[in-house]
Every structure is written in structure tokens, then in C-alpha cells.
Structure 1
Amino acid sequence: MSSLETQFRKDMKKLVLPSILQMLIGNSFSLINTLMVGSLGDIAIGVMAAAGQISFILSMILTAIFGITAFITQFYGTNDYVNVKKAFGLMLISSIVITLVVFILVSCFKAPLLSLFIKDEEAIAYGVQYLSVIVFVFLINSIKEVYGNALGSIGKIKLTLVVGIIAMIVNIVLDYILIYGKFGFPSYGIVGAAWATLASSLLSTFLLLGYVYWKRYYVNVTLKEIFSFDWPFVKKVYTTTLPLMFHEGLWAVGNMLYAVAFGHLGIVALATYQLANTFNSYFMMGIFGFAYAAKVMIGQKLSQDDPSEAIIYARKFTRIALYSALAVSAVVLLLNPYLVYLFPNLSSEVQSAFRHVVIIQALVLVMFFLNNLWIVGMFRAGGDNLYTMNLILITTWLIALPLVFAGAYLFHWPVEWVYLMFTLEEVSKACIGFFRYRSNKWARNLVRDM
């Protein structure tokens, strides 16, 4: 076995399992809230779906900001710790500023934003209460996620994993107490889920930052170092990451419009769409782990003068993604008849539609896996963000969105047919993205001249 193969397996084992566990924990927040709120009925699920779209848009914009981790990874690969701290500071300040803007906008326009997805006045009032709490989670996570992503970009994820486990346990307990009114507390319903999320987010942020600065752990950046970046540095980093911001922004707004289209079909369609998205995140947890490992491992190889080892890694990860997708698809098809039993209080219409949608997901899961690996794990590692922005513009805005809106507004198709149109985004993205993957044009050294 070659030394490169040995190193590949060693690094992958070190990164993949912890990252999958981390994804499991992150997705569990959404699934646990969905499961517990699901007992309140279709309307509660619909409200969470509508409010979740606002959270999703912010998270996608911040994901673009976290694209700065591509620089952190490559700086770390060349032991340039001064520029690691500069990049971290720029990422932290950018995250806080953008979140403050979103916080103000959402706080001022909660009802109009929710009315984009929900037409029922009672449901909108319910959603306003939920958003009034969740907006504070935005602010907390704008700081916590920067530290977590910075640690992850250099392969140090054990701390965020442990903190995530603690926060998940707290979230489960508080969900049970506050949603249903246990141990003498009143029953807050869906608003209780928001308070539980806020409390667990506060705790996890306190634990993460407390450990980082108490133990002087890797990203214990001082206030002076946070503001140590200068304009030439900002210009160089933003030149690479701004297309990623447009990428994530276009994709996030596109996904919001998908929810608008499903909401137009009614609360059954919107609830089905929410359940499908929640479970799709679970189906894809394995590839999230491999994509994360690919981003770190390939990013560090790209900091070298010769990109050939990074390209070899890319080929290995692609084979892993393909085989993993086929295995997971088979499991999903086997489990499909039993998933609806997790939501016994949902209407028979939602349960039936959800079964059919899961079959569609299983059939196109290979595309989901490959796109996640190529875009997040490879293209982003090489800062190939302008290409991915154009890819989203074509596949989301020119292919899938028009078809989804035509199905919902013109032809009034059943939710299953509209969801099939939605999946064409991933199908077309994989078909086009394959040629970029094979061209190796994404394999770029971002820090050679810095």
C-alpha cells in the first residue's frame, strides 16, 4: 500500500466518523423539534416549516461567510498561523454584522414574512410568537458557528462534538417540558420548542467558547487579533468568497420560493415538504461526513505546489459517495413504510404524500450525494465559487423553480409531482457538475501569493 493511500485512510478515519456524529447531532435538533411539534398537528408543522425558511436563508448566507474556512484550511496547511487568525477575525466580524441585519429585518417584519408561506391568520399569529424567540438564536449562533467551523476546517471537531451532544440532551429535555407542560411548567406548544432551542444554543455557546479560551485551544483569538486583517487581505478573501455568498443566497432564496410554491398547494403540501427536508438531511448524513473530510483533506493538499494528490483524493471520495448513495437508497426504500409511524397525529393526506415523496428521494439520492461531495467537499476547498454560483443560477433558477411553480400555480399537480420537479435541480446539477469535477479546474491553491 502506498504512503499516500495509507495517509488517506488514516486522515479519513480520523475525520469522517466524528463529522458524521456531529451532523447527526445537528440534524437531531431539527428532527426532535419536528417529532415533538408533529404531535400538535399539521398546522404546527406548517408553521415550523415557514419559520424554518427564514432560518434557512440566514444559515445559507452564513455558510457563504464560512467559505472563508477554505483560506483557514490552506493557511493552516502551510503553518501560517498569523493569517489563520486574520481569516478567522474577518469571518467572525462578517457573521455578526450580517446576522444583526437579519435580526432587525425579521424582528420588524415577522408577520409579512410568514404570510409568504401561510395564509391562515391564526397560524401566522402562532408563527410570530415562535419567531420572536428564534431571532435571538440567530445572534447566538452567529458567534458559536464561526468558532465551530474554524475548528472543523483544521480537523479539530472533538470539542464541537462533545458540546453538541450536551446541547442536544438539554434540547430534548426542555422540548419535552416546555412543549407539553411537564413538571409544573405551562404548555407552550411550538413556542416551547423555540425556548428550548434558545436555551440549548446559549449553553453550547458558553461551553464552546469557555473551553476555547480557558484551555487556549487553537482558535483562542484575542480581540486585537480579531481586527488584525487589513484591506488587501479582505479584498483577496472576499474576491474568492463573494461568489459563494451569491451562490448560497441564490440557493437559499430559491429554496424559500420552493416553500412558497408548496404552501400555495396548501398546508398538507407544506407539511410534507417540511418532513421531506428533515428526513433528507438524515438520509445524507453519511455524505456530509465524507464531504467535510474531503474539504479538509483536499484543502490541505491544495496548499501544496502540486495539486495531483488533491485530485487523487477527489477520485477516491467520489467512488465512496457513489457506493454510499446506493446503499443508503436501498435502506431508505426498506424503511419507507414505517417512517410515517413516527407521526401518528398527522393527517392521512400528509402521511400518504410523505410515503410517495420518500420514494422519489431514494431514487435520486445518488445525485444528492455527488453534488454535496463535489460542491462542498471539492469545489469549495479550491475556492471554485464563481462556477458553483453559475451552476445554482442554471439548475435552481432556470430549471427547477420554473417547473415547480408551473406545477403548483398553473397545473395544480399533486404534491408528489411538484416534488419530482423540485428534485430535477439535483439531477441537472450532478449532470453539469460532473464535467467540472473531471476537468480539475477547481483544484486551485488559494494562498500561494498571500
Structure 2
Amino acid sequence: MLGMLGHTFVQFVDNIMVGQLGTAELAAVSLGNSFMFIAMSIGIGFSTAITPLIAEADSSKNFEAGKSAFKHGLFLCTVLGIVLFLMVFFAKPIMYLMKQPEEVVELAIPYLDLVAFSLIPLIIFQAFKQFSDGLSMTTLPMIATLIANVVNVILNYLLIFGKFGFPEMGIVGAAIGTLASRLVMVIFIWGLLAKREKSKRFVTNIKFFTLAKSMLKKVISLGAPSAMQMFFEVAIFTSAIWLSGILGKNPQAANQIALNLSSMTFMVAMGMSVASMIRVGNQKGLQNFKELRRIAFSIFLLTIMIMTVFATTFLLFNEVLPTVYVDLNDSDNFADNTEVMAIAAQLLLAAAVFQLSDGIQVVVLGALRGLQDVKIPTLITFIAYWLVGFPVMYYLGLHTEYKSTGIWIGLLAGLTTAAIFLYIRFDHLTKRLIGTKNKT
């Protein structure tokens, strides 16, 4: 959970520090990160293919299969990171066609240039992280992520505000901090894995360009649908940013506050999803489907308990949490900041309601990935988010008085639909596997 939170915490720090500069700067970071959310979701989703393959190989003591899965996964993640960087870099002109405030777009472009490049080390790090998770060595990615966050905070402070003789670079300084922190993550995770006896043979003496078509196909067949699952979900949250931008810079800034807080709770659930993927993958390797189902339901229950705490927090502190992001002592922007806080408080009420749905859908999805069942869940996520959620958020957000709250009601509809049908899929699949095993 802490390892997954690290990615979001980088943006959390950026948002808090940039929020002190003004609502336009906060909205610009929101707009720039909306492109990053999509690219990151594809990269992180694809990298999850590595974890069940490693977990299965680990439980069956098959070193050769595990090293092959890691090497091919690392190669594909590196290529994907470069491709995603180029896609985001050349997609910047789209911002001018999205009916976003021109002031926000002008600020977002230089920020996005540097943050886009950070996709390369980020996706490479994800390959190492998912490999380490598959070996049940989840502490190492957490350490690397925490160190990277310390680097990000220090560089943000120095470069955003121009402290201790450093240039005052505003949101570009935040982008530099993000890029540097992600480079640090890759260096540290490799160093940590290379020193551990269990992982050393996997991450050293890698013949990077000696590849087998069969393993490439296997990783892609698992990674591509997983990437699309993450894309469908993150893209609908990104569309919420864009729709909020149509409503104005203040609704967009408020949306960013609520989205950033929700992203952190989602990453906790995502951590549980990884745990689910690892343990289900282990039991799949052992062909112990009854134990697989028991473990999975235990993780589901724990996730529900955790997300209930987050939901309660959002309900009780919906008016307090947004104050972290804006400077109420800034008299020049007092009216804008007050409006942003009011909108964000309303959005957090909607976010509180969908915490359970969000947690359930992502942890069940992790269990299905552990079973290496990815095609049907991909279809389910597409239907839930884009045939159910998006039409609701588009209509309520732009054509009713609900406005920003209506957008988040649409998110609730999509997440709830996904949670219900993914659970039905897992329940059906595991009962079928148990029945088949009993017959044999």
C-alpha cells in the first residue's frame, strides 16, 4: 500500500505546494497530470502482468520461468515507457482544442514537457516493483518510493519557491522534482534487489535483447488487457478533469483536490489489489483453489474495512481537507480560493460514497489478474465506465444544475457497476475451478 501510495504522494506534494501559487497554477498541474494519469494507467496496468507470472513461478520454484518473465516484462515496460513519453509529448496541442482556460493551458505545457519524460523511469520502476511484489518482497519498492518522495519534497521546496539561492521556477520546478524523484526510484530499487539473495540472480546478468517470442506473447497477452482495464478507469477520472475545465478554472481546481485525495485512497486499495494478485497467483501455482478463494475473500473483507474508514473521513472532514491545498491568507485570490474549497467539499461527499465501490472493484480485479483472467474483466470495465458512468457524468455535469457534483455522481455509477460485475465474475470462476478440481 505504501509503495502504491508513493506515486500519488508525489502529485499530492506537487498539488499542495503549487496550490500556494494560485488556482490557475493548480488547475494547470491538474490539466497536465490528466494526460499523465492516462499514460501512467497504461504503463502501470501493463506492468501488473509481471506479478502473477513471478508469483506462480516462485510458488512452483521455477527460477528459469521467473527470470524469463521478469526480463521480458522489463524489456516491454522500457519500450512502453518511451512510447508513452512520445505520445504525451506530441499530444500537448490537444489542450488548445479542449475548451480549457487559455491561462491554464499556457502554464500546463512547460510543466508537461518534463513530467512526460519522467514516464520512462516510472514505467521501468514499475517493472522492478511488480517483479519484487511477485516474490513477496514488497518492502523494497516501498523503501525506494519513500526515498524518492523525500527527494521530490526537497526539490519542490527549492525550485518552486526559489529557496537558498535556487531559481524560482513555479510549476516547472515541481516538474523537475517529479522527474528527479522517479530517476532516484529506479536506481534505488535496482540497488536493493541486486543486494538481496532471493532477487539477485533475477536482476543481474540480464541478456536484455535475447528474447523469446513465446514469452513476449505471454506477457503482452496478460499486460495489454490489464493496461486497458486501468486505462478505462483512469480515463473516466481524466474526463472528469476535462469536463470540470469546461465549467471553469475553479471547478477544475476543486476537482483536482477531490481527485488527488481520492487517488490516495485508491492507491491504498490498489496495494490490497497487488496483495490479492500475489496470493491468488501463489495458490494458482499450487492448484489449491479452495485456499485461493478463502484468501481472496479475506483480502476483500479487509479492503472493505479500510475503505469504510476513508469514506467516514471524507464525510466528517469534507470541509477541512481542501484547506490543505489553498492559501486562505492570499487576499488577491481569496474569492477564487473560497469557491474552490466550497466545490471541493461537495465533491468529497460524493467521493465518500464511492470509496467502497472503488475498493471492491480494484481488489477483485487484482484477484482476477492473479488467476490470469484478463479478457472478460476488460470488457466489464469498458461497459461500466464508458457505457454507464460517462453518459451519466456528461449529462449531469454539463446539462443540469448538479455541475461538478453531477460529474462525480457519474463516477459513482461507473465504479459501482464495475464492482458488482467483477465480483460476479470472480465468484463464478473460482467456483468453477473448485468444481473441476474436485471432479479430477
TM-score (norm 1): 0.87
Aligned length: 424
Q: Deviations over 1:224-274 (max 9, x none)?
A: 543444222333343333322332333344333332222211212221221
Q: Deviations over 1:75-97 (max 9, x none)?
A: 11111111111111221121122
List runs of 5+ in structure 2 lacking aligned partners: 328-335, 435-440
Displacement, 1:401? 0.7
Q: Measure the CA separation in 1 of the matches of 2:205 and 2:106.
A: 41
State the Cα RMSD in Å: 2.3
Q: Measure the CA separation in 1 of the matches of 2:174 and 2:244.
A: 24
Matched, 1:103 2:85: yes
Q: Measure the CA separation in 1 of the matches of 2:311 and 2:238.
A: 26
Decide whether aligned partners of structure 1 residues 210 and 444 sit closer, same or farther in structure 2, where only a CA change above 3 A counts: farther
For 1:212-231, list aligned pairs within 5 A: 212-213=193-194, 218=199, 220-222=202-204, 224-231=206-213
Deviates more, 1:352-361 or 1:332-341: 332-341
SS in 2 for 1:234: helix
Decide whether aligned partners of structure 1 residues 332 and 406 sit closer, same or farther in structure 2, where only a CA change above 3 A counts: closer
SS in 2 for 1:384: coil
Number of the residue aligned with 1:16 = none
Aligned match for 1:329, one of 311, 317, 323:
311
Decide whether aligned partners of structure 1 residues 332 and 410 sit closer, same or farther in structure 2, where only a CA change above 3 A counts: closer
- Give percent identity, aligned residues only: 21
SS in 2 for 1:420: helix
Number of the residue aligned with 2:178 = 197
Number of the residue aligned with 1:174 = 155
Q: Measure the CA separation in 2 of the matches of 1:96 and 1:250.
A: 22
Number of the residue aligned with 1:403 = 392
Matched, 1:434 2:416: no
Displacement, 1:117? 4.8
Aligned match for 1:262, one of 244, 248, 259:
244
Displacement, 1:375? 0.9
For 1:93-172, list aligned pairs within 5 A: 93-110=75-92, 112-117=93-98, 119-172=100-153
Decide whether aligned partners of structure 1 residues 141 and 87 sit closer, same or farther in structure 2, where only a CA change above 3 A counts: same
Q: Measure the CA separation in 2 of the matches of 1:390 and 1:323.
A: 28
1:423 alignment partner AA: L
Number of the residue aligned with 2:409 = 420
Aligned match for 1:360, one of 347, 350, 359:
350
Decide whether aligned partners of structure 1 residues 282 and 399 sit closer, same or farther in structure 2, where only a CA change above 3 A counts: same
Q: Deviations over 1:337-393 (max 9, x none)?
A: 3212213436211101111111111122211111121112x1111112112111111
Q: Deviations over 1:410-441 (max 9, x none)?
A: 44642112211222111111222232232134
Deviates more, 1:405-414 or 1:426-435: 405-414
Q: Measure the CA separation in 2 of the matches of 1:170 and 1:73.
A: 31
Displacement, 1:65? 1.9
Decide whether aligned partners of structure 1 residues 160 and 244 sit closer, same or farther in structure 2, where only a CA change above 3 A counts: closer
TM-score (norm 2): 0.89
Deviates more, 1:412-421 or 1:399-408: 412-421
Displacement, 1:24? 3.7
Aligned match for 1:379, one of 344, 357, 368:
368
Deviates more, 1:166-175 or 1:340-349: 340-349
Deviates more, 1:183-192 or 1:260-269: 260-269
Q: Measure the CA separation in 1 of the matches of 2:90 and 2:122.
A: 20
Matched, 1:283 2:272: no
Displacement, 1:205? 2.0
Q: Measure the CA separation in 2 of the matches of 1:180 and 1:144.
A: 29
SS in 1 for 2:125: helix
SS in 1 for 2:13: helix
Kept in 2, the 8 Å contact 1:74–1:299? The answer is yes
Kept in 1, the 8 Å contact 2:33–2:112? The answer is no
List runs of 5+ in structure 1 lacking aligned partners: 1-19, 446-450
Number of the residue aligned with 1:207 = 188
For 1:296-375, list aligned pairs within 5 A: 296-345=278-327, 347-375=337-365
1:316 alignment partner AA: S
Kept in 2, the 8 Å contact 1:240–1:383? The answer is yes
Decide whether aligned partners of structure 1 residues 92 and 442 sit closer, same or farther in structure 2, where only a CA change above 3 A counts: farther
Decide whether aligned partners of structure 1 residues 105 and 435 sit closer, same or farther in structure 2, where only a CA change above 3 A counts: closer
